[in-house]
A and B are shown apart, each in its own frame.
Chain A
Amino acid sequence: MHPASKYVLLAVALLFPALASNEYQVYVMATAFVWAIAVYGFNVITGFCGQLNLAHGGFFAIGAYTVGLLTSDAGWNFWPAFIAALFMTAILGFLVGAVSLRLKEHYFAIFTLCVGFIIYLLLDKWEELTHGAVGVRNIAAPDGFGLVNFRETMPVYYLVLFFLVFIIWFTGRIQKSLVGRTFIAIRNGDELAESLGINLMKTKILAFVISTTYAGLAGALYAGMIRFVGPEDGNILLTFNMIMYMLVGGIGTLFGPLIGTVGIVWLTQSLQFLEEYRMIIFGPLLVLLVIFFPLGVCGSFLTWMHRKAQALGLGPKKAKSESKVTTSDQEAKNNA
């Protein structure tokens, strides 16, 4: 992606509250950003590393519940609880990853589907800890240290935006690093990656822990923003939503999760009249996407740009670098 476009995006995001016609729109945008952070995590494990982790929504819920229970029942401040949520999801991510990542492909997807469901059932049934179906109320809002009041929409918007920008920056760093390249090598083939000397298990667990920590971060922010969590926040459908966000935006791309999440959240907003029936549109949309546009908005755009560059710049000077790009086509797409 063109370097300038990042700053344009950032500027639009910073000015959005001024451009929005009412506070509700800012609130919706902040929610979309929270989801986007979780989807970035999903993109690390599924988009980069190629492992479909269907427990991702469960880790989001664990992050949210950690903040919820620590602030409402244990009387903690928001920020310590926030840090605790990150550690909680990282540690649980490590434990779940260490067991589940020994499994490949379908086995991994099914296993994590079950893990996600166990998380949901525990949230719903373990009443002594989680309050069961009633959910957790009176969650503390993020502490502004007397400077800002995060109970209001605008400060929360900028808080979430700050974390989102940080996450995108951090993910970009991962993607460009050697670690990020080993993730992609694993996606392209377990055996091949192993023969290159990549420690499969260690690398996969690292990707998994990064992804669950992102989910925990998003969940913690969500709890501080909505200030109520219930078992439905651990519903497997949320993971399915995240798949859609990621797929629409472009799986394995840096800006795909952002574009997909914001796009679909606003589309959902404009389809409010459909309410629970919106899946009649989104279900087939998901199917059509994987059949016809598996690269998503970002991926398709990058491929198109790439083709254009190839068609234009076939001069003798460029030919060399161009041929290099085509051999590592997939990688080039992901780095862009």
Chain B
Amino acid sequence: MTTFLQQVFNGLTLGSIYGLVALGLTLVYGILHIPNFAHGALYMVGAFMSYFFMVDMGVHYWIAMAGSAVVVAVLGIICERLVFHQLRNSPPIHDKIAAIGILLFLEAMVHMFWGSEFRRMSSPFGGVMNLDGVYLREQGILIIASTVVLVVALNLFLRKTMVGATIIAMAQNREGAFLVGIDANRVAMMTFAISGGLAAIAATLYAPLNLVYPAMGHLVIMKAFVIIILGGMGSIPGAIVGGMIIGFAEAFGGYYISTAYKDVIAFSLLVVILSIRPQGLFAKGAH
């Protein structure tokens, strides 16, 4: 029972991180219909920015996280303006290739500045709580709590504010949104900013449990893609639910099946599900 509960906790931690990354990806997809392959690179840059702020500038964890979120949000806006905006009338294959170009560039830049070695990032929440044999890492609790706060905040922002409503409107119906005078450029920039910020926060939350290195985004972005396909591309609740599915599948699969193959589990799950349901688990109609 304790090992089971332990895996539940691990699954929740992983699922929260995946959910946050997938959330940014699904927002961009829902509004701009771009599968942003560079999202994993934004996540990676987020971790390195936090590392830079914490280790080189010596600021506190929270401030580093905020600074990193701002930097990556701006980076997202730059990508949108310089690249995706220019390609808005191109065939969809061009968006994907351009996103790959951004990914390669960002990785090479980070590689040049920081090298390829693995770095460890500390956090003020290094302790472990023992609850009847179940070990709860403080960082894990922080991750779960932060995810809940962020998701609730994002939801309130999207539902209760005018600015958020324009994003929802764009996702629901592009032409309709233009018709009522919504500025598409502003919505696109804002979406990229939120998406980048979420990626940076997720990276900063997860980095203390993991390591920081230029290729750290590869697996995460691919899992995030698996998640948004499972949850329906563009769906916000789908991203969270999908994130939890993958998180739990990995925690339990890693423990009960094989640790070496735990990364294969997510992808195999996708292959199996898409073989049976090509439109994804929760997709409603055509997207």
Q: Which residues of A contact B (CB under 8 A)?
A: 46, 50, 52, 99-100, 102-103, 105-107, 109-111, 113-115, 117-118, 121-122, 125, 236-237, 240, 243, 247, 276-280, 282-287, 290-291, 294
Contact indicator A236/B267 (Cβ below 8 Å): no
Contact indicator B105/A111 (Cβ below 8 Å): no
CB within 8 Å for A280 and B108 given contacts A106-B233, A291-B86, A291-B98: yes
Selected contact of A113 from candidates B90, B225, B261, B275, CB within 8 Å:
B225
Complex contacts, B218 vs chain A, CB 8 Å = 117, 236
Complex contacts, A280 vs chain B, CB 8 Å = 105, 108-109, 112
Complex contacts, A122 vs chain B, CB 8 Å = 264
Complex contacts, A287 vs chain B, CB 8 Å = 82-83, 98, 101-102, 105
CB within 8 Å for A284 and B105 given contacts A118-B271, A121-B264: yes
Complex contacts, B222 vs chain A, CB 8 Å = 113-114, 117
Q: Which residues of B contact A (CB under 8 A)?
A: 29, 33, 35, 37, 82-83, 86-87, 90, 92-94, 96-98, 100-109, 111-112, 116, 218, 222, 225-226, 229, 233, 260-261, 263-264, 267-268, 270-271, 274-275, 278, 280
Contact indicator B271/A109 (Cβ below 8 Å): no
Complex contacts, B260 vs chain A, CB 8 Å = 125
Contact indicator B103/A283 (Cβ below 8 Å): yes
Nearest A residue to B97 by beta-carbon distance? A290
Contact indicator B97/A286 (Cβ below 8 Å): yes
Complex contacts, B100 vs chain A, CB 8 Å = 240, 243, 286
Report the number of A-B residue pairs with Cβ-Cβ less than 8 Å: 120
Complex contacts, B264 vs chain A, CB 8 Å = 118, 121-122, 125
Bound Cα distance A109, B280 (Å): 14
Selected contact of B271 from candidates A99, A121, A286, A294, CB within 8 Å:
A99
Complex contacts, A240 vs chain B, CB 8 Å = 100, 104
Shortest Cβ gap from A117 to chain B (Å): 6
Bound Cα distance A286, B103 (Å): 11
Complex contacts, A109 vs chain B, CB 8 Å = 35, 96
